[in-house]
Amino acid sequence: MSRMSASPRLSIDVAAAAAELLPGLRASPPLAHCITNSVVTGFTANVLLAIGAAPAMVDIIGESGMFAQIASGVLINLGTPTPEQRAASLEAADGATSAGTPWVLDPVAIGALPVRTELAAELVSRRPTAIRGNPSEILALAGLSAGGRGVDATDAPDAAIDAARSLAGRWGSTVAVSGEVDLITDGERLIRIANGDALLTRVTGGGCALGAVMAAFLGSARDTDIDVLTTVAAASLVYTVAAERAAATASGPGSFDVALLDALAALEPGDVIAAARVEEGAL
């Protein structure tokens, strides 16, 4: 579990939390340990560097658990779960748990595909700090659906609210459902973030990189009194506001990919507060 304060600030506004956490992350870069899919490794590392974090892609058996214990935050993404990555993921989850390192599970394309679905079930039972996925993945992880079409969701975010509540209640995880409006819940409270742009779905790794950003923010927040739900929402807000700024200058997916890195690097706390479209309430 995370080493965040035992008395978290539950009432802090998400935009205010993002504005507080972003400078702290840049001043003291968290080490984000990512076991992620081979399609997005480079992009994910560049996103982490752009926001000010330090990426490390350690997916070797015998090293991943050890590294998870010294990292600030961990991402386990199931996009391309080779046999070695599967074993390394379980090792990293156990290492993170034993050391109190916050970790994020991204159950990519689970449901109809048996290998990754079984692995996701093993990993979620280890109680990740946060779970991030599209609506179909969250439904499948909760056992309420057969999943989407590969990595693409076939369900809307609101369809996954009950599944997210169930996962949060059973495993004690904050659950983030990505979509046109992002939903983040701890099983009792619900945050909706309407920022973002459709171009995020037109580049490889748009969602996967968000999981890494969440891991970095959770690592950076470990010594603060900002709770996990708010931290995960703050990470999503920073990422989606940057996506909007990138889309405003991009002419298509190719230029958006580059512009997103530039926007993340240039984003200031005031930009996040000014652009935030966030609703918070009870679930």
pLDDT at residue 160 in the model:
94
- Pairing mode of beta strands 31-35, 54-56: parallel
- Give the tens place of pLDDT for each residue, 197-209: 999 999 999 999 9
- Give the tens place of pLDDT for each residue, 97-127: 999 999 999 999 998 889 999 999 999 999 9
Question: Taking all residues of the chain, what is their mean pLDDT, rounded to a whole number?
Answer: 93
pLDDT at residue 9 in the model:
52
High-pLDDT (> 90) share of the chain, %: 88
Number of residues that make up the chain: 283
H or E, element range at 68:
helix 64-70
Mean pLDDT lowest among 24-28, 144-148, 164-168, 173-177: 144-148
pTM: 0.93
C-beta neighbour count of 154 within 10 angstroms: 16
pLDDT at 72 over 80: yes
Rounded CA-CA distance 167/124 in Å is: 9
pLDDT at residue 112 in the model:
80
Confidence of residue 154 (pLDDT cuts 50, 70, 90): low
Name the CA dihedral angle for 50, 52, 57, 58, rounded to a multiple of 10 degrees.
Answer: 180
Rounded CA-CA distance 283/281 in Å is: 6
Mean pLDDT of 56-72: 97
pLDDT at 153 over 60: no
- Give the tens place of pLDDT for each residue, 238-248: 999 999 999 99
